[in-house]
């Protein structure tokens, strides 16, 4: 099950966290992985780790907010492989604040990465998938796209847009055998969380980690590997009847 042998998969934000976990798991299941990240060294670390474990991967420097960068990366993938079977739009950034605490620059920055980045990468991938008569897009949304979260105004706005784009792409390209879904995680323990706590709560990291973990009724944060397992299912043939859906992975938040 979940065999991705022969599939070409592009993963944005693959340099760390959830993106790196998805890239590694897809490679273990047979996919060639194009690891895209704005930090080329981070993308190379992911690709190198995949190759060290017997997988196939290459690194691509790509700022998902820049149309030229995205076009160059996807043109290079297409030129090398003449197909693209899977796109995981994982690259994203966060922001803490109400509408009063969100500057115009904050809003523009989050929109550029979390919304425009998904748009640009999907726009680059879809024509390749149309040409080959099939493909899968998977977007990383958030439970913030399904419920209201305190102090997450701009972040929630962008993830709501990701959910809407997911459903629009699914409807528009269903007849071309292109599926599109999104994953909606609650808090996931990534390097971003550790850095956020170190910068904002020096000396209180353990206390704040417990508070953040307790938000999930199950009593802990998710792991990047758990999100990757759901991504693997949604991008595999086992999910061939699934499109236009938002899958929570939330430790019980939505049912508590």
The residues annotated as belonging to the active site are 155
Do residues 181 and 166 make contact, with C-beta atoms less than 8 angstroms apart?
Answer: yes
227 DSSP assignment: H
**Token pair for 184:** 């909606």
Do residues 179 and 243 make contact, with C-beta atoms less than 8 angstroms apart?
Answer: yes
Euclidean distance between CA atoms 152 and 139, whole angstroms: 19
Euclidean distance between CA atoms 81 and 5, whole angstroms: 14
**Burial class, 106, CB count within 10 angstroms (exposed 0-12 / middle 13-18 / buried 19+):** middle
Do residues 65 and 41 make contact, with C-beta atoms less than 8 angstroms apart?
Answer: no
């Amino acid at each position: 099950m979940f065999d991705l042998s022969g599939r070409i998969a592009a993963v944005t934000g693959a340099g760390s966290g959830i993106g790196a976990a998805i890239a590694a798991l897809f490679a273990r299941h047979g996919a060639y992985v194009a690891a895209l990240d704005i930090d080329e060294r981070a993308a190379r670390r992911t690709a190198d780790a995949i190759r060290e474990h017997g997988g196939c991967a290459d690194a691509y420097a790509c700022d998902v907010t820049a149309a030229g960068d995205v076009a160059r990366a996807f043109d290079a993938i297409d030129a090398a492989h003449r197909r693209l079977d899977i796109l995981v739009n994982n690259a994203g950034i966060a922001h803490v604040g109400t509408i009063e605490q969100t500057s115009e620059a904050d809003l523009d920055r989050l929109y550029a990465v979390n919304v425009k980045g998904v748009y640009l990468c999907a726009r680059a991938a879809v024509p390749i998938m149309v040409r080959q008569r099939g493909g899968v897009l998977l977007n990383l949304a958030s439970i913030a796209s399904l419920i209201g979260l305190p102090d997450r105004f701009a972040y929630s706005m962008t993830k709501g847009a990701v959910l809407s784009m997911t459903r629009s792409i699914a409807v528009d390209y269903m007849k071309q055998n292109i599926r599109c879904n999104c994953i909606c995680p609650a808090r996931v323990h990534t390097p971003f969380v550790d850095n956020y706590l170190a910068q904002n709560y020096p000396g209180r990291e353990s206390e704040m980690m417990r508070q953040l973990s307790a938000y999930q009724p199950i009593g802990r944060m998710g792991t990047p590997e758990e999100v990757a397992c759901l991504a693997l299912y949604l991008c595999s043939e086992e999910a061939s009847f699934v499109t236009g859906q938002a899958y929570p992975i939330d430790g019980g938040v939505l049912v508590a």
